[in-house]
């Protein structure tokens, strides 16, 4: 009887797997669809908040329409206010607070590695949680560079300025990348001024982590460290 039952279970196993496979594939496809929808909505929200809205709001001021430099400055200020407000508001939620703690753990671990100290919880815990090459600093540099670039755009009609800002986005991002590289590899008055807004913003986007978060950051960091130190230069 036991042998017959075992044989029946063995025969049933492939059938069960055959049933599970389409279900798992369907679930994976559903997750992919949800992810793509989230990406599209995220990009649309970013364009709406940081491209369309500032230009539309400033465009409502009649006396400023023909002054492109002043208009670009005001658009940039609105972008910065929106960005800081958004990051502060989301930081009030429990999940984002925890995410910002992991962000702090990441920065402290990188600082420990760059100080050429062993990656231990004790060494990482002592490090500062602010870093010049953080994505937050990069976004601030993008905002600053976009203001300067848009000052050179001759268009004064709102929709034309929106199109121009989208077309020039690769230029802005490329210049910003080079600026953050310079800021990350040099310490002088210019790089301190350039890095100051992003470092200040990290007081919102990073939090002091607990030891378990530091352990996770260390585990994530170690596989990324190349054997050749020259390959680790940014």
Which two structure tokens, joined as six digits, stand for 196?
Answer: 């100051």
Please write the tens of the pLDDT for every residue from 106-150.
Answer: 999 999 999 999 999 999 999 999 998 898 889 889 988 988 898
Kindly report whether the global pTM for this prediction surpasses the value 0.85.
no
Give SS3 for 133: coil
Q: What is the pLDDT of residue 6?
A: 47
**Stronger pLDDT, 23 or 93, i.e. the higher one:** 93
| 180 vs 140: CA distance, rounded Å | 10
What local confidence, expressed as pLDDT, does residue 175 receive? 94
At residue 151, the pLDDT reads 86
Encoded tokens for 164: 């121009």
Distances (CA, A) of 103 to 80, 128, 150, 192, 207: 21, 12, 32, 22, 7
Report, as an integer, the average pLDDT of 183-188. 86
Top pLDDT among 34 and 105 is at 105
**What is each CA distance from 105 to 123, 169, 194, 222, 234, in whole angstroms?**
12, 31, 24, 14, 20
Q: For 190-213, what is each residue's pLDDT tens digit?
A: 889 989 999 999 999 999 999 999
Q: Which is more confidently placed, 225 or 6?
A: 225
Q: What token pair was written down for 81?
A: 């206010």
Pairwise CA distance, residues 232 & 211, whole Å? 26
């Amino acid at each position: 009887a036991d042998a017959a039952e075992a044989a029946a279970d063995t025969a049933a196993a492939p059938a069960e797997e055959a049933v599970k496979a389409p279900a798992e594939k369907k679930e994976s496809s559903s997750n992919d669809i949800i992810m793509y929808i989230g990406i599209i909505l995220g990009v649309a929200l970013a364009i709406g908040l940081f491209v369309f809205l500032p230009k539309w709001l400033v465009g409502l001021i009649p006396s400023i329409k023909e002054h492109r430099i002043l208009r670009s400055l005001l658009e940039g200020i609105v972008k910065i206010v929106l960005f800081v407000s958004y990051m502060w508001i989301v930081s009030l939620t429990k999940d984002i607070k925890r995410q910002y703690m992991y962000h702090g753990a990441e920065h402290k671990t990188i600082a420990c590695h760059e100080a050429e100290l062993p990656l231990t919880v004790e060494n990482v815990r002592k490090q500062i949680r602010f870093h010049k090459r953080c994505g937050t600093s990069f976004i601030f540099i993008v905002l600053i560079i976009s203001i300067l670039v848009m000052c050179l755009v001759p268009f004064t009609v709102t929709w034309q300025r929106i199109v121009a800002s989208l077309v020039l986005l690769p230029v802005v991002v490329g210049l910003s990348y080079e600026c953050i590289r310079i800021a990350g590899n040099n310490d002088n008055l210019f790089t301190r001024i350039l890095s100051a807004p992003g470092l200040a913003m990290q007081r919102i986007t990073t939090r002091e982590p607990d030891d378990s978060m530091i352990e996770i950051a260390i585990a994530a960091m170690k596989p990324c460290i190349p054997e050749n130190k020259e390959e680790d230069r940014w």
